[in-house]
Structure 1
Amino acid sequence: MNSNFDIIIVGGGAAGFFSAINIVEKNPKLKVAILERGNEVLQKVRISGGGRCNVTHACFEPNELVKFYPRGEKELRGPFYQFCSGDTIEWFEKHGVELKIEADGRMFPVSNSSQTIIDCFLLATQKLGIAVLTAQSVQSIFKQEKHWKIETQTENYITEKLILATGSNPKIWEMLQNYGHAVVSPVPSLFTFNIKDSRIIELPGVATYATVKVKDTKLTSSGPLLITHWGMSGPAILKLSAWGARILHDKNYQFTIFVNWLNDFEKEEVEKKLKDLKQEHAKKAVSKKSPFELTNRLWESLVLASGIESETKWADLSKIQLTNLVNQLINGNFQVNGKSTFKEEFVTAGGIDLKEINFKTMESKLHENLYFAGEIVNIDAITGGFNFQNAWTSGFIVANAV
């Protein structure tokens, strides 16, 4: 027995729901279904942003917004001119969800709960008569003359247009490869660095603003850095992991980083400041109080690492110790040995090759009436609401196109 629909969307996540709702709002006559392989829809929305759902980012200029996407920067410019973060805010407001901007630019529902977003989507699909079918794991996809046939473990479906919004799902990627689509193999994107180092072992919880570079690459990133029980985390590290997803994967997550704990201080400035301190605080112990915007604990640890004992006074610093201290402060090298995945917000770099997609419609260039939305394509972003913005934008464009 076949179930017939005008449009079927595979994947009951952010991009899938957004596509479906926008399609039926534009054309209420269409018969639309969402197929979800799990028993629950919108699972990633539920856990994102620590359960608050980081809906988007307060960056309203498409040319600026694209810079947060290690993969997809060039391709998303046009789509963002059609539907950007400002449109997202307006869309949710129209659907009864007010968003707020936090100090770092991330945007959340005023309710501070991802359930608000889930309820908004479920209410809209009910109101519009969109069929939401769970426990429907797609086993195969067949292209027929005028339509697509989809087989799940329990049902067969026939549809004129097929939208795939399955995120990082290897099984679906494999099916698409059988249809001639190239898939860029997935590698992890947002992760933290495992570092065992005496300088930071006693300092979990210490946060500072730093610049981090990966040795022998062009990778560099500035931002808040957090020392953890297993190494280093925080936006500076996560950004680096996103931009370096492929390179660091190829290095098997064994590499060296250089940390400038003073962020943008240059060597000469730091040397001058330390020499001044040598004059002004001659009788004080070097390790006692941080003269920079570093916590005293981190300062003390870097002083000891420079071969300066805890009671040594500024006046007694040798030239070598001074040079060592400058190096520890602005060019400390740390050995990274493996990675840890960042919370449950697992993002992968990889997916359908961007060259095979028409970004005006999100339609496959190889097969008519086959569309993509969300992370199934080789687009990913750093943390901060940008991955969701890609889901909303691609879903909106698909809805317009179909």
Structure 2
Amino acid sequence: MGRRIVIIGGGAAGFFAAANLQQLPNDVEVVILEKSNKTLSKVKVSGGGRCNVTTSLDQVGQLVKQYPRGEKPLRNLFKAFGPVELRQWFEERGIPLKAEDDGRVFPTSDSSQTIIDCLREEAQRLGVKVMHGEQVVDLSQKPEGWTVTTSGGKLWEADLVMVAIGGHPKSAAYDWLSALGLELEKPLPSLFTFNIPDSPLLTLAGTSVPSAEVKIAGTKFSYTGPLLITHWGLSGPAVLKLSAFAARHLAEKDYQFQVLVKWDQEWNEDAVRNWVSENRNSQAKKKIVNCPLRPLTQRLWSTLMELAGIPEEMRWADLPKKSANKLINAMVSMPFEVAGKTTFKEEFVTAGGVKCSEVDFKSMQSRKLAGLYLAGEVLDVDGITGGYNFQNAWSGGYVAARHMVEQLKN
């Protein structure tokens, strides 16, 4: 009888682990069990089909701050295998990568299929078997290893098991893990946009500003970055990243809350008030509509004027104090009533999962159950948009793989 490693989940973490199970003894079989009929589906859609593989942010201290959950345990993981090592790994296999101005890293081919093909070829070269339609419903530890049971009643005996099932919106998806005694945090959505049905800006869908500050009223939660007005509310990196850091708070609010928008992070009320006052003097005869403050677009500026009750024909010299105050407030602290959320494209990210305290991040092995490894979004780790969630998956998969190899060599 030979030995076997079973990897549960054919996503980024699972496949990357399989692709790094090099130098295994010849008697070890590696099997990936995937519940659907396709693997690496999230890699396929990432970055609009280009695959945002990782980030160009290399310093571990800065890198871990991009994770609303998991910052502390990820330090050891990224020291062992971080973005630098990942980029080198792909380039050694003939997949050149490029960093864009915002720090996101993509294959130079601009095609996620390049990454998928590379991972599949590496796994195939190492003799990894991929089994589709195998949904795991039970996992039990035996004196000699593990038994994995799938929905069709099939039993897979294994010496080592790695769980890489990704994030799931419902706790029931993790029942077979909690049955093992693993503690879990309730899964919640992360990285979502804000639905604002009564927004006065819905007709401006597609309008953006490069560096807005978005704050959740009554809290310390705020984030600065590009902001996009949509036909359902607000989106863009500022909103997505804010939703990640405030995920648990917003879930408690049932996604009914108020946000305050300052359209440029450099503004403050005094500066904008002084700008209005100066325009009253220096631009007295000019129409207000023709003098937007950058980076506001003409359409956004016109709408803010309308909301402040300022006619398009009004000159700076004729601007009433009350209307000026309304305009200033709309520029530095415009309120929006959020009533729900929308998943960001196909890239569903979950906050929650198996608690980080359950895992030794130097090996990705369970602290309670020898021979059980966990990596990727199945853990209570999630990053902001920009390649961070994939980096967590790649790093966890790599470290788990190298430790499993050492275990079976001994």
TM-score, length-scaled by structure 2: 0.95
Equivalence for 2:137: 139
Equivalent residue in structure 1 for 2:89, among 88, 91, 105: 91
Superimposed CA distance per residue, residues 304-361 of structure 1 (whole angstroms, 9 cap, x where no aligned partner): 1112222111001122222221111001111111111110001110100111111111
The answer on whether the counterparts of 2:140 and 2:180 sit within 8 Å (CA) in structure 1 is: no
Q: How many residues align?
A: 399
Matched residue of 2:203: which SS? coil
Query: Equivalent residues in 2 for 1:251-330 (5 A)?
Result: 251-330=253-332
Distance 2:202 2:62 in 1: 38
Q: Structure 1 316/135 Cα, relative in aligned 2: closer, same or farther at 3 Å?
A: same
Matched residue of 1:77: which SS? helix
Distance 1:230 1:131 in 2: 44
Equivalent residue in structure 1 for 2:24, among 16, 20, 27: 27
Cα deviation, residue 198, structure 1: 5.2
Q: Is 1:38 the counterpart of 2:39 in the alignment?
A: no
Superimposed CA distance per residue, residues 159-188 of structure 1 (whole angstroms, 9 cap, x where no aligned partner): 111100011245551111111111111111
The answer on whether the counterparts of 2:214 and 2:261 sit within 8 Å (CA) in structure 1 is: yes
Query: Equivalent residues in 2 for 1:180-199 (5 A)?
Result: 180-197=181-198, 199=200
Q: Structure 1 178/131 Cα, relative in aligned 2: closer, same or farther at 3 Å?
A: same
Equivalence for 1:230: 232
Alpha carbon RMSD of aligned pairs, Å?
1.4
The answer on whether the counterparts of 1:4 and 1:159 sit within 8 Å (CA) in structure 2 is: no
The answer on whether the counterparts of 2:263 and 2:332 sit within 8 Å (CA) in structure 1 is: yes
Matched residue of 1:202: which SS? helix
Equivalence for 1:115: 113
Equivalence for 1:155: 154
Distance 2:16 2:25 in 1: 15
Matched residue of 1:287: which SS? helix
Distance 2:199 2:367 in 1: 53
Cα deviation, residue 139, structure 1: 2.3
The amino acid that maps onto 1:382 is I
Distance 1:336 1:26 in 2: 53
Superimposed CA distance per residue, residues 17-71 of structure 1 (whole angstroms, 9 cap, x where no aligned partner): 1111112x14253321111111111111111111111100100111111011000
Distance 1:328 1:359 in 2: 46
Distance 1:85 1:196 in 2: 40
The amino acid that maps onto 1:176 is L
The answer on whether the counterparts of 1:5 and 1:157 sit within 8 Å (CA) in structure 2 is: no
Aligned-pair identity (%) = 45
Q: Is 1:391 the counterpart of 2:389 in the alignment?
A: no
| Structure 1 spans left out of the alignment, 5+ residues | none
Distance 1:189 1:5 in 2: 39
Cα deviation, residue 262, structure 1: 2.3
